[in-house]
Chain A
Amino acid sequence: MESKKGGNRKEQEMEQAEIEVTENKSESGACFPPTFSVSEIKNKQRRHAMFLKLKEEKRKQKLELKKKKKKERKALGDQAPPKEVPKTIENQRIYDETTVNPEDEEVAFDEGTDEFSAYFNRLTNPKVLITTSDRPRGRTVRFCEQLATMIPHAHVYYRRGLALKRVIPQCISRGFTYLMVINEDRKVPNGLVLCHLPDGPTAHFKVSSVRLRKEMKRRGKDPTEHVPEVILNNFTTRLGHSIGRMFAALFPHDPQFVGRQVATFHNQRDFIFFRFHRYIFKNEKKVGIQELGPRFTLKLRSLQKGTFDSKFGEYEWVHKRHEMDSSRRKFHL
Chain B
Amino acid sequence: MQHDDVIWDLIGNKSFCSYKVKTKTQQFCRNEYNITGLCNRSSCPLANSQYATVREEKGLCYLYMKVIERAAFPARMWEKVKLDRNYAKALEQIDENLIYWPRFIRHKCKQRLTKITQYLIRIRKLTLKRQRKLVPLSRKVERREKRREEKALIAAQLENAIEKELLDRLKQGTYGDIYNFPIHAFDKAMEKQEEETESEEEEEEDEEESGTREFVAEEEFEESDLSDFEDMNNLKGSSDEEEDAEEQSSEEEETEEELEEEKTKAKSKGKTPLKGPVRKKRAYVEIEYEQETEPAQKSKAT
Chain A residues whose CB sits within 8 angstroms of the CB of B175 once the complex forms: 257
A269 and B152 contacting across the interface, CB-CB below 8 Å: yes
Q: Which residues of B contact A161 (CB under 8 A)?
A: 129-130
Quick check: A231 and B165 within 8 Å, CB to CB? yes
Q: B166's contact among A88, A89, A262, A275, by CB below 8 Å, is which?
A: A262
| Given known A-B contacts A269-B155, A273-B158, A284 and B178 have beta carbons under 8 A apart | no
Of chain A, the residue at the smallest CB distance from B132 is A134
Decide yes or no whether A61 CB sits under 8 A from chain B: no
**Stretch of B19-27, B143-151, B285-293 with 4 or more beta carbons under 8 angstroms from chain A:** B143-151
A279-333 interface with B by 8 A CB criterion: 279, 281, 283-285, 287, 289, 297, 299, 321
0/1 interface trace, chain B 159-200, chain A, CB 8 Å (1 if under): 101110111011100011011010100000000000000000
- Taking the complex as formed, is A237 at the interface, i.e. its CB lies under 8 A from any CB of chain B? no
Q: Does the CB pair A275–B170 fall under 8 Å?
A: no
Chain A CB within 8 A of B6 CB: no
State how many residues of chain A have any CB contact under 8 Å with chain B.
33
Alpha-carbon separation in the docked complex, A89 to B153 (Å):
13
Whole-angstrom distance between the Cβ of A137 and the nearest chain B Cβ: 15
A271 at interface by CB-CB < 8 Å: yes
Give the distance in Å from the alpha carbon of A256 to the alpha carbon of B185 in the complex.
26
Do B141 and A297 have beta carbons less than 8 Å apart? no
Determine if A163 and B130 form an interchain contact, defined as CB atoms under 8 angstroms apart. Answer: yes
A196 at the interface (CB under 8 A from B): no
Partner of B148, one of A134, A269, A279: A269
Most chain-A CB neighbours within 10 Å: which of B129, B158, B175? B158
B149 pairs with A271, CB closer than 8 A: yes
B155 and A90 contacting across the interface, CB-CB below 8 Å: yes
| A209-B149 CB under 8 A given contacts A277-B162, A281-B181, A284-B183 | yes
Q: A149 in the interface, Cβ–Cβ < 8 Å?
A: no
A264 and B155 within 8 A (CB): no
Asked if A279 and B166 sit within 8 Å, CB to CB, the answer is: yes
Closest to B164 in A: A287
Tell me, yes or no, whether A101 is within 8 Å of chain B by CB: no
> Does the CB pair B156–A273 fall under 8 Å?
yes
Please measure, in the bound complex, the distance between the C-alpha atom of A268 and the C-alpha atom of B130, giving whole angstroms: 36
Count of interface residues, chain B, beta-carbon cutoff 8 Å: 30
Q: Are B170 and A266 in contact (CB under 8 A)?
A: no
**Chain B: minimal CB distance from A108 (Å):** 21
A257 to B152: give the CA distance in the assembly, Å: 30
Residues of B within 8 A of A275 (CB): 158, 162
Most buried by A among B166, B179, B181: B166
Smallest Cβ distance from A60 to chain B, in angstroms? 29
Among B130, B162, B165, B176, the one with the most A-chain Cβ atoms within 10 Å of its Cβ is B162
Cβ of A289: which chain B residues have Cβ within 8 Å of it? 159, 162-163, 166
Q: Which residue of A lies closest to B155 (CB)?
A: A268
In the complex, the answer to whether B152 meets A271 with C-beta atoms within 8 Å is yes
Residue A233 is within 8 A (CB to CB) of chain B in the complex: yes
Q: Are B181 and A89 in contact (CB under 8 A)?
A: no
Most interface-central of B132, B149, B163 (chain A CB within 10 A): B149
Name A145-176 residues within 8 Å CB distance of B.
161, 163
In the complex, whether A16 has a CB less than 8 A from a CB of chain B is no
A88 to B153, CA, bound (A): 14
Nearest neighbor of A328 in chain B, beta-carbon distance? B148
Cα A277 to Cα B129 with chains together (Å):
42
CA distance A208 to B153 in the complex (A): 12
Q: A89-B155, A321-B141 are in contact. Are A231 and B149 (CB under 8 A)?
A: no
Residues of A within 8 A of B170 (CB): 281, 284, 287
Contact A281 B179 (CB under 8 A): yes
Name the residue on A nearest B137 (C-beta): A185
Contact A208 B130 (CB under 8 A): no
Report A6 CB to chain B, min CB distance, Å.
42
**Does B166 lie within 8 Å of A287, measured CB to CB?**
yes
Among residues 186 to 217 in chain A, which have CB atoms less than 8 Å away from a CB atom of chain B? Answer: 208-209
5 nearest A-B residue pairs (beta carbon): A268-B156, A284-B181, A269-B152, A268-B152, A271-B152
Residues of A bordering B, CB below 8 Å? 88-90, 134, 161, 163, 208-209, 229, 231, 233, 257-258, 262, 264, 266, 268-271, 273, 275, 277, 279, 281, 283-285, 287, 289, 297, 299, 321
The residues of B with any CB-CB pair to A shorter than 8 Å are: 129-130, 132, 141, 145-146, 148-149, 151-153, 155-156, 158-159, 161-163, 165-167, 169-171, 175-176, 178-179, 181, 183
11 contacts between A and B (CB under 8 A): A161-B129, A161-B130, A233-B161, A264-B165, A268-B152, A273-B156, A277-B162, A284-B170, A284-B183, A287-B163, A321-B141
